[in-house]
Amino acid sequence: MKKAHTVEGNDDMGKKHTTKMDDLYKEDGKADHYNKGFIETIVQIERLYGTLPAAMFCEMNAFKYRSRLGHKKTEDIETELKKIRWYEKKCSELRAKNMTSDKIEWKSHQQ
């Protein structure tokens, strides 16, 4: 079993702290560091590039994490699996959303 790695940093008040890598990711694979602004990063990606490209981004990230599963020294396998599951789930959600919006757009063009 791999040793739990830590990340050192400062909180909003400048106080130093140490966090275990496992604590950065929630059970569903989401991480608070992707939600520091007003809009979650994946939502910004979807708005900037579109739903299908955002789904492809998620699919490629899941592939990336799967291909190096167990080889990244800074994370244990369970944390990596959380990320994979999150990206795969988000990809499915975005693809379903894209298919629904394609149908709506197609119907409006037919009228």
Question: CA-CA distance, 105 to 6, in Å (whole number)?
Answer: 48
- Is residue 34 included in any domain, yes or no? yes
Question: CA-CA distance, 20 to 23, in Å (whole number)?
Answer: 5
Q: What is the pLDDT of residues 75-102, one digit of tens each?
A: 889 999 999 999 999 999 999 999 887 6
Kindly report whether the global pTM for this prediction surpasses the value 0.75: no
Q: What is the pLDDT of residues 43-65, one digit of tens each?
A: 999 999 999 999 999 999 999 99
Tokens of 104: 């709506």
State the Cα torsion 51-67-36-98 to the nearest 10°: 10
In whole angstroms, how large is the CA radius of gyration of the chain?
Answer: 18
- Is residue 12 included in any domain, yes or no? yes
Please count the CA atoms within 13 angstroms of the CA of 35 that sit on its side-chain side: 7
- Is residue 20 included in any domain, yes or no? yes
Q: The domain containing residue 80 runs over which residues?
A: 6-110
pLDDT of residue 87: 97
pLDDT of residue 17: 47
- Give the residues across from 10 on adjacent strands: 16
- Is residue 1 included in any domain, yes or no? no
- Give the residues across from 61 on adjacent strands: none
Question: CA-CA distance, 71 to 106, in Å (whole number)?
Answer: 45
- Give the residues across from 25 on adjacent strands: 31
The structural domain count of the chain equals 1
